[in-house]
Structure 1
Amino acid sequence: MSDHTELFSIGELARRTELSVRTIRFWSDSGVISPASRSAGGYRLYDAEAVVRLDLVRTLRELGLDLDTVRQVLARQVTVREVAGAHVRALNAEIRTLQVRRAVLERVARDGSTTEEMRLMHELARMSADERQRIINDFVHETFDGVAPDAPGGQIAQAMRTMPTELPADPTAEQVDAWVELAELVSDEGFRKRAREMAVAGAQAGQEPLGHDPAQVAEHAGRAVREGVAPESNEGKEITDRIVGPDLPSAERARLADRLATFTDRRVERYWQLLGVLNGRPPVPSQLPAFEWLIAALRTHA
């Protein structure tokens, strides 16, 4: 008798495929394979095609496909290529989730964490990429609500949404820390109010911090900070005059100091620094100490 007409009992089929009788019976009951006929005693008999189908079923199951999908493949309702593509996408999502959890656990193992930090990290790890991005989008929407897209604040709003939807595949300890710190920062009510204040002020005509050259501030006020020059000193006044000009009236100096103070905040600068870390950008030296020095000097010499 040829292989094409030979029939096998479940036991014989199990020996040929190295699958258990229980598994073959379960798959047969599920409709994945069907017996070719039955023996005189009512036992199921399978043909050589069942051997081939069982090999395919085993391969698909080992790749993680459920039985419903396997049945669709065997019935040619979907192709193996389509199924493989869908499962690649699902596995990639699962891998990303595991990478996030690994990164969080590594941070806890490295530094230890408070109960609140662990709660936050656990929530972030469970979120989808879209849900994590929504945290940033909600913050930006609240901050810039009513600010015209073509206003200076509108461009800033778009830039403030640039949190990556995923941590890198192998995030550094700094990126994990930045990810957690950013979530804490945008949840802080005081920070949200301060960012809103800056956004509204930036959208109003004449409220932009004009009247100075940022490069001059970085050069001269930055050097004063590094060298420990006091803003109220005579040398501090000379440096201030180099930045804003010696002829700027006292009242204008006071107004400029107030405008600069509106747009100078360490937490807002920290927000940009954290986004830079998450997006893999090289660190930029902080300019805030130079502006704080200039604000103090302007007020002193006004």
Structure 2
Amino acid sequence: MFPSHDGLYGIGELAERAGVTVKTVRFYSDNGLLPEACRSAGGHRRYGPEALGRLRLVRSLRALGLPVREVHRVLDEEETGAGSVLEDAVAGQLRELGSQLRALRWREAGLRLVQECRPGERADRLRLIGAVSAPPDTAPLARFWRGWLPPRMPAGATAAFLEAVVPQPPEEPEPAQVLAFARLYAFVTRPCTGAERPQPAAHRSEGAGRPAVLYAGLAEAYELAGAQILRGREPSPGPELDSFVDAYASAYGSRDTLAFRRVLAGQLAADPRIDRYWELVSEVVTPPGGTPEPTPGSAHDWLFAALDAQLVARTGRGHRAGRVSASPR
């Protein structure tokens, strides 16, 4: 079908040529995406020859998921020939689609988790995974650690610390990882009693006076220890332990001596533990059957065991390396 004798399309003609319904053409017209050339004497919409190409472009943009307001901006840019609205709009849609896909993968793994468990476990698992959004939100984990950190930590040091201790949910989780994250979420959001005092001595007023120095040094020591853990090396003195002890010595304004190491080991052995958090973190970041990834908690245990082994070798006395504390552990 061709335009009428005046070179204009009627709404039905335009819809047929573009392969859409009259209702669709009317919707785009009413929203300003498809300007009319004029109205007939009977009040019917008439469109110029350029309307067919514009309608096809609008249809393609909408098929990509762009909302009407973004389509408006793209069309305006097409007319002016300036800017990069289309590229920005497509990038935004890709980000949104990625978030939707992550949510779907999380929900799929959650459904498989419920499907594969024993009937007696379903109520508990439904309760756990039902409390977590999809894709899961890590903000509660960050809040947990913000309340655990010493006061007056610089913003940059806090951000670096949170990046190290808050695990990112896997992009394509297995059911076991969904369960581990749900349990981790429950762990950090459970009510705390007044008797609980999770902060180690280094966080209190009589402890380290330079928390940013302490945590920067610990981050370096944990990274060094993590490499040794991946190699399967048993805890032993070396540059990893020296870096670990130096973090505390620098924060306390002390020298790294054997006496200081003995006092430090005693303090760390008496500090509270957050073992369960790190066990669950390891399960979240490690696919079933994979090699467990080192965490700050496992790195701290390795370093304390190395310190304990050194003290036993030099003084004959240790601090039960199998039950050490951690900062943060």
TM range (shorter): 0.5 to 0.7
Residue in structure 2 matched with residue 169 of structure 1 by the alignment = 171
Structure 2 Cα separation of the partners of residues 64 and 49 of structure 1: 23
Structure 1 Cα separation of the partners of residues 264 and 90 of structure 2: 63
Evaluate the alpha carbon distance shift between residue 66 and residue 200 of structure 1 in structure 2; reply closer, same or farther with a 3 A threshold.
Answer: closer
Aligned-partner residue type, residue 9 of structure 1? G
Aligned length: 240
Q: Does 1:133 align with 2:141?
A: no
Structure 1 Cα separation of the partners of residues 68 and 282 of structure 2: 45
Residues 218-271 of structure 1, C-alpha deviation per residue, up to 9 Å, x if partnerless?
A: xxxxxxxxxxxxxxxxxxxxxxxxxxxxxxxxxxxxx99986762475xx2232
Alignment of 1:181-192 (within 5 A): 181-188=183-190, 189=192
Residue in structure 2 matched with residue 69 of structure 1 by the alignment = 70
| CA root-mean-square deviation | 4.3
CA contact (8 A) 2:3 2:13 kept: no
Q: Does 1:142 align with 2:147?
A: yes
Q: Does 1:58 align with 2:36?
A: no
Measure how far apart 1:284 and its partner are: 7.5
CA contact (8 A) 2:129 2:178 kept: no
After TM superposition, the score normalised by the length of structure 2 is 0.58
Q: Does 1:79 align with 2:85?
A: yes
Alignment of 1:110-259 (within 5 A): 110-111=116-117, 113=121, 115=123, 117-126=125-134, 132-146=137-151, 158=161, 161-165=164-168, 167-188=169-190, 189=192, 193=196, 195-196=198-199, 200=203, 204=207, 215=235
Measure how far apart 1:105 and its partner are: 2.0
Residue in structure 2 matched with residue 282 of structure 1 by the alignment = 291
Structure 2 Cα separation of the partners of residues 163 and 61 of structure 1: 38
Residues 43-63 of structure 1, C-alpha deviation per residue, up to 9 Å, x if partnerless?
A: 211122111011111111111
Q: Does 1:43 align with 2:18?
A: no
Structure 2 Cα separation of the partners of residues 22 and 2 of structure 1: 19
Evaluate the alpha carbon distance shift between residue 24 and residue 159 of structure 1 in structure 2; reply closer, same or farther with a 3 A threshold.
Answer: closer
Residue in structure 1 matched with residue 229 of structure 2 by the alignment = none
Aligned-partner residue type, residue 193 of structure 1? E
Structure 2 Cα separation of the partners of residues 279 and 203 of structure 1: 36
66-75 vs 8-17, which moves further = 66-75
Residue in structure 2 matched with residue 93 of structure 1 by the alignment = 99
Aligned-partner residue type, residue 61 of structure 1? R
Evaluate the alpha carbon distance shift between residue 260 and residue 45 of structure 1 in structure 2; reply closer, same or farther with a 3 A threshold.
Answer: closer
Structure 2 Cα separation of the partners of residues 138 and 51 of structure 1: 54
The answer for unaligned runs of 5 or more in structure 2 is 209-233, 237-262, 309-318, 323-329
CA contact (8 A) 1:4 1:47 kept: no
After TM superposition, the score normalised by the length of structure 1 is 0.63
Evaluate the alpha carbon distance shift between residue 260 and residue 66 of structure 1 in structure 2; reply closer, same or farther with a 3 A threshold.
Answer: closer
Evaluate the alpha carbon distance shift between residue 283 and residue 256 of structure 1 in structure 2; reply closer, same or farther with a 3 A threshold.
Answer: same
The answer for unaligned runs of 5 or more in structure 1 is 206-213, 217-254, 297-302
Structure 2 Cα separation of the partners of residues 180 and 203 of structure 1: 36
Instruction: Calculate percent identity across the aligned residue pairs.
Output: 31
Measure how far apart 1:70 and its partner are: 1.4
Q: Secondary structure at the match of 2:131?
A: helix
Q: Secondary structure at the match of 1:90?
A: helix
Residues 171-217 of structure 1, C-alpha deviation per residue, up to 9 Å, x if partnerless?
A: 12332122112112223426992533566589748xxxxxxxx948x
Q: Which has the larger radius of gyration?
A: 1
Measure how far apart 1:23 and its partner are: 1.2
Structure 2 Cα separation of the partners of residues 10 and 54 of structure 1: 12
